[in-house]
């Protein structure tokens, strides 16, 4: 009897394989009929053999060479504006088409969701606004959105002290330094003060509380390492597609623990303050400063909810703005004519005789060339160049099917749709033959834009902190260009940006510059 077990097991395996093949064929026939009924045609199929393992290795290699957008550009050249491919056994649609992005993010919003993001990002970000779908997301947005439309967002006085600390950290003798490192410290300082009411003072550690959370996590560098390590591993989880759960090393878990402890320090402090008497809080004092976490704590006192939401916002507040500022100096250091023009227009709007406290949001918005300059930075190096959604039901996207790419495309329930704005922002048929050239002047010709320019996402999930990030970046650039007379590129060997892709992009080797102070300011 026992001798028959191997034969029985082999027979059962054969039946299962046959069943799977028949099920797959039947499913494909049904999908084809649904697509025909909806007038859909398939997009260009980029043949990826061996379950898409070579395609996955190409993605990994492009990341190793710090050229993720270059890889996506090659994919676009190979498959057109919308294509179908297989990566690690996962079939997905990749699109660089504004109309399709608009459908996924806005007009067909309910047809698409984040899918596995909550599980992939969950160890770090938990149940926050960037990881939740459905009612959980709606509740998060309703809780957080009022905090981003308050007048406190326009409070530039909070930024002033931190920019002063930035100037103190810049070498005064013109020697080269990595300005990216300073920008990431600056945005951590400003984000923690805005969110938690207590800055980490990474740029001025002498001002930080000696018993604060960073002191217990190895200082600012210890926290920064843990934060970046978390993002590195989450990116590996994203690339692993459905096999994300295999990426969970001990170092990742320890880094998550460190980051959580830092944020929980602030959460516990806010909850303790909330539990004090009204007299002790003195909440009606006109001098008391707005604190984002305390405002959200009035909506919920759940410790994990507060930690997760604050961590979601901290990630965006620190990394997105730092990425924009760093990329700004990457281009300024390589384009002295643009530096001169931008500085000239800034000094015209904010004369050297004025104090820094006279810089306001309204006046910042009047400097058109500053706005166009930042648009051009965000066009060529968007902080989040890659994104995706999953179909919640059998649905379609408007274009990309058929030989001419003009027919709708059928999207099966559960299928992943990847949209890459890093390529969409470089399409020559949209932006002209000089699409890959850094030229802020193009925005005088194109001062209105739609879904072809999407640095902060769009639709109902558009970035809540968009105006906060743009305001902070504008203020920092104005302060720097008023003070600094000239910038030199200290990395002449790096002509094109080498980008390290995490949840946002950074420059793999930093942005090394020499800055020369103006004697006039």
Strand order across the beta sheet in which 82-87 lies: 44-45, 82-87, 90-95, 416-420, 386-391, 112-113
Q: How far apart are CA 517 and CA 484, in angstroms?
A: 4
Q: Is the distance from CB of 466 to CB of 489 less than 8 angstroms?
A: no
Sign of the Cα torsion 60, 66, 72, 78 reads negative
Could you tell me which residues are beta bridge partners of residue 410? 396
Q: Would you mind telling me the total number of residues written for the chain in this entry?
A: 521
Q: How far apart are CA 396 and CA 26, in angstroms?
A: 20
Q: Is the distance from CB of 129 to CB of 332 less than 8 angstroms?
A: no
Residue 200 tokens, joined: 């980490």
Angle at 461 between CA 187 and CA 113, to 5 degrees: 120
Task: Give the three-class secondary structure for 334.
Answer: helix
Binding residues for heme: 463
CA torsion, ordered 261, 266, 272, 275, to nearest 10 deg: -130
Residue 158 tokens, joined: 């909070």
Q: Is 271 left (phi over 0), alpha (psi -120 to 50) or beta?
A: alpha
Binding residues: 463
């Amino acid at each position: 009897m026992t001798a028959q077990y191997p034969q029985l097991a082999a027979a059962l395996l054969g039946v299962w394989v046959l069943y799977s093949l028949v099920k797959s064929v039947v499913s494909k026939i049904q999908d084809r009929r649904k697509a025909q009924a909806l007038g859909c045609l398939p997009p260009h199929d980029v043949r990826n053999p061996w379950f898409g393992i070579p395609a996955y290795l190409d993605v990994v290699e492009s990341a190793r060479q710090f050229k993720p957008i270059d890889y996506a550009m090659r994919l676009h050249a190979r498959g057109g504006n919308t294509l179908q491919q297989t990566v690690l056994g996962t079939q997905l649609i990749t699109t660089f088409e504004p109309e399709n992005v608009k459908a996924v993010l806005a007009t067909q919003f309910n047809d698409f969701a984040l899918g596995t993001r909550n599980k992939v990002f969950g160890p770090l970000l938990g149940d926050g606004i960037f990881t939740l779908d459905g009612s959980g997301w709606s509740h998060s947005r309703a809780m957080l959105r009022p905090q981003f439309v308050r007048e406190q967002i326009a409070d530039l006085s909070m930024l002033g002290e931190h920019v002063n600390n930035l100037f103190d950290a810049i070498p005064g003798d013109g020697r080269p330094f990595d300005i990216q490192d300073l920008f990431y410290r600056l945005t951590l300082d400003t984000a923690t003060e805005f969110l938690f009411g207590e800055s980490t003072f990474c740029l001025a550690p002498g001002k930080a509380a000696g018993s604060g959370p960073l002191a217990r996590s190895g200082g600012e560098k210890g926290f920064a390492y843990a934060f970046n390590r978390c993002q590195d591993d989450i990116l590996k989880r994203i690339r692993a597609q459905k096999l994300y759960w295999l990426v969970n090393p001990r170092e990742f878990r320890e880094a998550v623990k460190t980051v959580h402890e830092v944020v929980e320090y602030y959460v516990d402090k806010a909850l303790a303050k909330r539990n004090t008497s009204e007299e002790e809080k003195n909440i009606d004092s006109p001098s008391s400063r707005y604190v984002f976490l305390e405002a959200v704590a009035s909506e919920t006192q759940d410790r994990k909810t507060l930690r997760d939401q604050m961590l979601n916002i901290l990630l965006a507040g620190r990394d997105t703005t730092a990425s924009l500022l760093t990329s700004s100096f990457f281009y300024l250091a390589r384009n002295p004519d643009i530096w001169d023009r931008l500085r000239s227009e800034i000094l015209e709007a904010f004369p050297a005789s004025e104090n820094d406290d006279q810089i306001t949001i309204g006046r910042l918005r009047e400097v058109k060339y500053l706005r166009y300059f930042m648009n051009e930075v965000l066009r060529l190096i968007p902080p989040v160049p890659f994104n995706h959604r999953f179909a919640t039901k059998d649905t379609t996207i408007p274009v990309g099917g058929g030989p001419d790419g003009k027919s709708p495309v059928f999207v099966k329930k559960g299928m992943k749709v990847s949209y890459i704005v890093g390529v969409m922002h470089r399409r020559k048929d949209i932006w002209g033959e000089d699409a890959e050239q850094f030229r802020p002047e193009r925005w005088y010709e194109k001062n209105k834009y739609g879904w072809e320019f999407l640095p902060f996402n769009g639709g109902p999930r558009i970035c809540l902190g968009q105006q906060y990030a743009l305001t902070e970046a504008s203020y920092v650039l104005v302060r720097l260009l008023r003070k600094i007379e000239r910038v030199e590129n200290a990395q002449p060997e790096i002509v094109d940006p080498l980008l390290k892709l995490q949840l946002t992009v950074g420059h793999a080797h930093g942005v090394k510059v020499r800055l020369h102070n103006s004697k006039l300011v």
